[in-house]
């Protein structure tokens, strides 16, 4: 896996009738790439993969791959809390040409121990070999933490386990992980607000929520840090820190879809059990986005 830098965990836009808005998704992909994003992650948490039907999940990945047209790598989210189901779904990805890497989060709800997670991810790695696999540690969503020693075991057991998106929020754990893994194994921050701190201890990039709204700026923040231009990186972080926080004023991706709607990029709709942020939160998000200049080029009538 050669990918480094900033990847957008891209939203999945929906029409008013609840169907996937393919036109809006294709436009978002093109805008992201034109803005200089380094790679795209389809059907992750921000892409509401948990509420997509299996056919919709595959179609969304195909749309992103097709719209990207080889200009940037496309990663595909593939997560399930049943290992048998996960392996069946992973097999479906073999028919999707152009997927560069598979991203898979901890099994959710079951709360497996470290051995259970080890066997789960190893089975997936063997099933998708030789496609690279990026582990995704997000205990705040899954109630399962993937510990550094387990990640090291996995990296040693399967050569296509080549990266991890670390969203534990535990910088000490992330530092231990980076120190124990070979340099060839890539650690990506899963938190916009911790991206610079994580890169500072050796991470190779960020898989971002905020780059949905500001791909050029968040991408440059990450690339500046990676080239040791910390003055530039910190200046961008300070400017966008309020947006990083605002994107979690309600359950992700409600806020980011609201901001994209205010920007005229897509509808704000999310799928139950998520609901769109209330009017008060929308007004607060509009103030944050307006202060950052994100709303300057919104076509008239496009923010509803």
Annotated active-site positions, please?
136, 165
C-alpha span between 287 and 281 (Å, rounded): 10
Q: What is the DSSP string of 255-266?
A: HHHHHHHHTTSS
C-alpha span between 124 and 243 (Å, rounded): 35
C-alpha span between 178 and 173 (Å, rounded): 9
Tell me, what DSSP letter sits at residue 71?
A: S
Buried/exposed 242-278: b ≥16 CB within 10 Å, e otherwise: ebbebbebbebbbbbbbbbbbbebbbbbbeeebebbe
Give the pair of three-digit tokens for residue 172: 């000490």
Dihedral-angle region of residue 202 (phi above 0 means left; psi in -120 to 50 means alpha; beta otherwise) = left
- Show Cβ contacts of residue 33 under 8 Å, excluding neighbours closer than 6 positions: 40, 68, 71, 72
């Amino acid at each position: 896996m050669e990918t480094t830098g900033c990847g957008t965990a891209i939203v999945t836009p929906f029409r008013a009738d609840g169907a996937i808005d393919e036109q809006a998704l294709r436009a978002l992909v093109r805008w992201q790439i034109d803005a200089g994003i380094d790679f795209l992650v389809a059907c992750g948490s921000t892409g509401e993969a948990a509420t997509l039907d299996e056919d919709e999940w595959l179609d969304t990945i195909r749309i992103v791959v097709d719209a990207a047209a080889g200009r940037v790598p496309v990663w595909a989210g593939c997560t399930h809390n049943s290992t048998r189901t996960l392996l069946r779904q992973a097999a479906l990805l073999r028919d999707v040409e152009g997927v560069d890497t598979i991203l898979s989060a901890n099994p959710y709800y079951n709360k497996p121990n470290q051995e259970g997670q080890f066997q789960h991810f190893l089975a997936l790695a063997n099933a998708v070999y030789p496609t690279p696999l990026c582990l995704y540690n997000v205990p705040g969503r899954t109630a399962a933490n993937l510990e550094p020693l387990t990640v090291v075991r996995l990296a040693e057991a399967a050569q296509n386990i080549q990266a991890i998106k670390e969203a534990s929020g535990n910088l000490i754990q992330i530092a231990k992980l980076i120190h124990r893994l070979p340099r060839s194994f890539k650690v990506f921050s899963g938190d916009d607000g911790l991206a610079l701190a994580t890169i500072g201890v050796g991470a190779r990039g960020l898989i971002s929520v905020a780059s949905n709204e500001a791909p050029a700026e968040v991408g440059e923040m990450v690339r500046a840090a990676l080239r040791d231009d910390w003055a530039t990186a910190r200046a961008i972080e300070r400017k966008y820190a309020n947006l990083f926080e605002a994107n979690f004023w309600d359950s992700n991706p409600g806020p980011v879809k609201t901001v994209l709607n205010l920007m005229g990029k897509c509808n704000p709709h999310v799928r139950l059990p998520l609901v769109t942020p209330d009017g008060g939160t929308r007004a607060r998000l509009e103030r944050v986005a307006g202060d950052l200049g994100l709303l300057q080029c919104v076509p008239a009538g496009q923010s509803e």
